[in-house]
Amino acid sequence: MSLGKRVKDLGRNVLSPLAEFLAVKNVSPDLLTFLGLLITVSSIFFYSHGEFFKGAIFVIFGGLFDSLDGEVARREKRVTKRGAYLDSNLDRISDFAPLFGIAVYYIKYNQLLASLTFVFMFGALMVSYTRARAEGLNIECKVGLADRTFRILFLIIGSMFGPEIFGWFLIFLIISTYATLITRIVYSMRRL
C-alpha cells in the first residue's frame, strides 16, 4: 500500500465523525469542495510573503474540506459524475495555488528555486494528466510513488521548515514526481 493511500485512509478514519455530522446536517458536498478551494487558494498570500508555515496551515485546512466532500457525498448517497468532475478540476487549482505562492516568493529571492518550483508544478500537472488520460482509455493508472496525496504531504512537511529548507524538499518532490510521471507513461503504454 502506498504512502498516499495510507495517509488517505488515516484521514478518512479521523474525519469520519465529522463527515457523519455534516451528512446528517445535509451539508452539500459541492459547498465543501468550494470551501476547500477558497482556503487553499488563500495560502498564496502567505507563501508569497515567505510565511511557508502559515501557508501550510491553509493547505492542511483546505485539504480537510477536500477530503470531507467525498466522504459526505458517499454518506448522503449523493456521489455523482458531476460532483467528481467538479472536484477533480478544482483539485488542479488547489494543487497549483500554493506552488504559485511559492514561485512568487522565490522569484524575488532565489531564481533557481523559482525555476525549480515551475519544474515541479509542470510535473505535478503531468502526473495528474497521465492518470486522467489513461483512465479515459479505460486503464486504471494509480502507479508511482508521488500521487497527489504524497505531493501535498511533502509540500506541507517541507513548508513547516520555512523557505530556506523547503528547497531541499522541492528537489525531492521533483525527482519523485518525474519518476512517477515516467512510471505512469510506461505503465499505460504497455496496456495499450
* Active centre residues (catalytic): 91
SS (HEC) of 106-127: HHHHCHHHHHHHHHHHHHHHHH
State the DSSP string of 64-96: HHHHHHHHHHHHTT---HHHHHHHHHHHHHHHH
The cell for 80 is: 455523482
In this structure, are residues 58 and 42 in contact, taking their beta carbons and an 8 Å threshold? Answer: yes
In this structure, are residues 180 and 144 in contact, taking their beta carbons and an 8 Å threshold? Answer: yes
